[in-house]
Amino acid sequence: MLFPSRLLISFLIPLVILGLGIWFTVNTEINRGSVRVAGALVGKADVELTVKDCHLEEEFARTLVVVAEALNRDSVDVSLSPNLFQAVLVPSSSPLGDEIQHYIYRPLRFQSLCPQAPESFSRIPPGAVRSFTLYFWAENLPRGEEWRDYYLSLEYYDPAQSLMLSKLLNPAE
């Protein structure tokens, strides 16, 4: 007798359970982009951000005006709050890393329009486009030839939706 029967069974049962677990994992296809938890979509939203216009106005105070559109390519509603947009100014000579010098600007005011969701300033139904006009305070932004020493980008980060959008800007004076 090579092995006592109890020893054989004590090795065989965990081996069978482990084998079934591996088989189940390999044969089950889960699309993590469409997992629903309590009715909410878990996964990254599919939103395409396009910057239509970016210019500086000098009427009462110097203002950076950014006109952007967000297309919801997902199958569920997406919410983009205009308050979460920010303009980020970074010197082009800054080394990459944790200690990069950058300046963050939040919108002073905004306009947000979506014909499919007129009652909301943030909701974008599936297949719909929401247009944003964002106004940033720009008194200390570069002027004229100073722009070649800086990068300016429009950033959106919403940790609740795991959504981050970024577009480089080229403001016209």
Per-residue pLDDT of the chain (173 residues; tens, 9 = 90+): 556 777 777 778 888 888 888 887 777 765 555 544 444 445 577 899 999 999 999 888 899 999 999 999 988 889 999 999 999 998 887 656 556 678 899 999 999 999 999 999 899 999 999 999 999 999 888 888 888 888 899 999 988 888 889 999 988 76
CB 132 within 8 A of CB 68: yes
Residues 19 and 86 in one domain: no
pTM: 0.70
Contact 89, 103 (CB under 8 A): yes
Sign of the CA dihedral with 53 first, then 56, 57, and 63 last: positive
How many domains are there within the chain? 2
- 164 shares a domain with 121: yes
Give residue 14's domain range: 5-30
Contacting residues for 83 by C-beta, under 8 A, at least 6 apart: 106, 107, 110
